[in-house]
Structure 1
Amino acid sequence: MSFRTAQVDPLIVRRAHIAVYVRVLTSRPHRRGGNVVSIDSGSGLANATIQQRLVPVRLFYDFLMEEGLRESNPVGRGRYTPGRRVGGRQRGLVPRLTKLPWIPSEEQWLRILEVARREPVRNRVMLALAYDAALRREELRSLRTDDIDPAHRTLRVRAETTKNRLERVVPYSAPTGVLLSGYLAHRAGISRARGPLFLSESRRNHAQPLSLWTWSKVVRRIALAAGVERFSTHTTRHLCLTGLARMGWEVHAIATFAGHRHTDSTLQYIHLSGRDLADKLSRGMEHIHAWRIQTLAAANTTPCGAGS
């Protein structure tokens, strides 16, 4: 639904009209149909997508207000604190939802690895590097031959390929190094030229840099074959960072490894790992356990036969 199809003059649109628009976005059939990958994605747009759709509408009405054509903006903005009236800000039409990243279970991950074992060496090394170094899809696809330091088993993730334009150097494991060495020998049979690390081997784009979409299709094929439909190109990053959190890495170390500018993004992996909560539960249970043992020990000091 748009204001044109609803035959509503933008100059007289109210919050009720915007609410109807939001309602349509949250309830209409999903255009991807059979490609639904989560329970709540069968109809309507995701929360983040709806927020993006509302931004240009909000900016449009900001413009109308600046031009003196309207006195108010019908699209809510800012945060709202329930029960706080004095100094409170206007509540938005759509609440912002913050969900923890999805990661596969151990059994699902093993199924994915079993399928990946049958993939060509290029795909296997890409999957290994994506997991080992917690690389984003663009960072992985943009790796060049001179970004690799085999002597120290590190990768240079160039600033222009990152989400927040922060360059970083990340390590990879010895098994991945063996796999990478095998791929480099294989790549030499495709092209000996320096440049993009991962090359296409199709007839149409032979020896050309691998595209983002090709890699996405590879991962999607692996996910479907393993029966883990939610697995995506970003899942390996989530899995790696969650593993680091579970191993006790400090939040700033994880943020540096992941290339996060702020630790707010990193904290979701700490929460997902349940590390802090597990530690507190363990300490609490140890205290309770000690108290119970002391109580039983005290009970054992009762003279034999007492109470019998």
Structure 2
Amino acid sequence: AAEWLRIWTDLGRAPRTIDAYACGLAEYLTMCDREGIDPVTANRAHVAGYVRELTSRPSRRGANVVSIDSGSGLANATIQQRLVPVRLYYDYLMEEGIRDSNPVGRGRYTPERRGGGHQRGLVPRLTKLPWIPTEQQWRDILAVAAGECVRNRVMLALAYDAALRREELCSLRTDDLDPGHRMLRIRAETTKNRLERIVPYSAPTGALLSSYLTHRAGISRARGPLFLSESRRNHAEPLTLWTWSKVVRKIALAAGIPRFSTHTTRHLCLTDLARMGWELHAIATFAGHRTTDATLTYIHLSGRDLADKLNKGMGQIHAWRVEMLARLDRSATEAAGW
């Protein structure tokens, strides 16, 4: 297992990806050790036992399992995430000739009655739309954020304005800014899919950013990381991802909206762009998506296509009903001999 992780590291996978793989695989190997299972020769029944364990763990959401994504146990998406390193590990064992098959698998083609088919994996995949705040919830978040320091306010503004992921935001450097054109360069090494992009930000955010740069000069005049810690222990050091997460968590709890997270601003921005009628490819470019598949989530979340179809359909139905009423009126007139 350590050799497999070392190969992924040498191939240049992101450190947090390696950490996630290591934690997920260690969890599975711990279960194998506890149950007396040799992980090299484990079969599908053993992996199914691991899935059962994941779905029955205590959870803050409740004590009973109603479905695979409710009650106790890990969420469906988390279970899928836990199985990824296990599946990749067995792929490695197959490539090395140690095993002939993968007990996790990737799903198979299942014929249907009406033709076609679909993929079925080890665990059914539940696809949920991301949560975004209502207009009132967003106002509540901004009301609390207004009391934050200028650094936190400009970070929240940029996170929404440019639909930035947490790492993209915290990794911004002073030379990534183009204040004259109100543009940001998001470097490839900070993105999830290693795609560099240039994104704009609004004039109000630009004013906040200007205030922060003046404030930052009092902390450090050195070029480098844009957002700096102001704590006594880490004064003038780059702001960490975890510190920003704590800031957003504190704002969310103060506003009474615990579901709000560092990624919510990105979801909200891309949904707003879809609502405004942006083309699919334009949103994908802005978001830094490699394909438009992920971007479709925000089109669905905005309800734009369904609303357009509904409005057009209702317009046609309304016109048809009015026409029928007019015909009814004409028929009544002719019958009365008027």
Q: Give the aligned CA root-mean-square deviation in angstroms.
A: 2.7
Q: Which amino acid aligns with 1:106?
A: E
What do residues 210-255 of structure 1 show as CA deviations (whole Å, max 9, x unaligned)? 1111000000000000111110001000000000000000000001
After TM superposition, the structure 1 = structure 2 runs for residues 5-154 of structure 1, keeping only pairs within 5 Å, are 5-10=34-39, 13-30=42-59, 43-62=72-91, 71-81=100-110, 83=112, 91-154=120-183
Provide the C-alpha distance between the structure 1 equivalents of 2:98 and 2:218, rounded to a whole number of angstroms. 65
Provide the C-alpha distance between the structure 2 equivalents of 1:87 and 1:181, rounded to a whole number of angstroms. 57
Check whether the contact 2:141–2:252 (CA below 8 A) recurs between aligned residues.
yes
Larger displacement relative to structure 2 (12-21 or 262-271): 12-21
Provide the C-alpha distance between the structure 2 equivalents of 1:195 and 1:42, rounded to a whole number of angstroms. 46
Map of 1:36 onto structure 2: none
Map of 1:255 onto structure 2: 284
Q: CA deviation at 1:57?
A: 3.2
Q: Which amino acid aligns with 2:156?
A: L
**Is 1:290 the equivalent of 2:319?**
yes
Larger displacement relative to structure 2 (20-29 or 278-287): 20-29
Check whether the contact 2:245–2:262 (CA below 8 A) recurs between aligned residues.
yes
- What SS class does the counterpart of residue 4 from structure 1 fall into? helix
Q: Which amino acid aligns with 1:150?
A: P
Provide the C-alpha distance between the structure 2 equivalents of 1:261 and 1:61, rounded to a whole number of angstroms. 27
Map of 1:223 onto structure 2: 252
**Is 1:267 the equivalent of 2:296?**
yes
What do residues 118-142 of structure 1 show as CA deviations (whole Å, max 9, x unaligned)? 1111000000011001011111111
Evaluate the alpha carbon distance shift between residue 284 and residue 123 of structure 1 in structure 2; reply closer, same or farther with a 3 A threshold. same
Larger displacement relative to structure 2 (56-65 or 1-10): 56-65
Gaps of 5+ in 2: 1-29, 63-68
Provide the C-alpha distance between the structure 2 equivalents of 1:73 and 1:156, rounded to a whole number of angstroms. 42
Larger displacement relative to structure 2 (52-61 or 144-153): 52-61
Evaluate the alpha carbon distance shift between residue 67 and residue 110 of structure 1 in structure 2; reply closer, same or farther with a 3 A threshold. closer
Q: CA deviation at 1:209?
A: 0.8
Q: CA deviation at 1:22?
A: 0.4
What do residues 32-81 of structure 1 show as CA deviations (whole Å, max 9, x unaligned)? 99xxxxxx576322323322322343345455556766554332323443
Q: CA deviation at 1:10?
A: 4.3
Q: Which amino acid aligns with 1:19?
A: A
Structure with bigger RCO (C-alpha 8 Å, 6+ apart): 1
Q: Which amino acid aligns with 2:267?
A: H
Provide the C-alpha distance between the structure 2 equivalents of 1:195 and 1:7, rounded to a whole number of angstroms. 51
Map of 1:303 onto structure 2: 333
Given the alignment, which residue of 168, 182, 200 partners 2:229?
Answer: 200
Equivalenced residue count is 300
- What SS class does the counterpart of residue 156 from structure 1 fall into? strand
Given the alignment, which residue of 156, 163, 167 partners 2:185?
Answer: 156
Map of 2:263 onto structure 1: 234
Q: CA deviation at 1:305?
A: 8.6
Provide the C-alpha distance between the structure 2 equivalents of 1:99 and 1:167, rounded to a whole number of angstroms. 28
Provide the C-alpha distance between the structure 2 equivalents of 1:106 and 1:265, rounded to a whole number of angstroms. 24
- What SS class does the counterpart of residue 293 from structure 1 fall into? helix
Gaps of 5+ in 1: 34-39
- What SS class does the counterpart of residue 170 from structure 1 fall into? strand
Check whether the contact 1:30–1:41 (CA below 8 A) recurs between aligned residues.
no
- What SS class does the counterpart of residue 201 from structure 1 fall into? coil
Check whether the contact 2:107–2:122 (CA below 8 A) recurs between aligned residues.
no
**TM-score of the pair, normalised by structure 1:** 0.88
Provide the C-alpha distance between the structure 1 equivalents of 2:134 and 2:86, rounded to a whole number of angstroms. 40
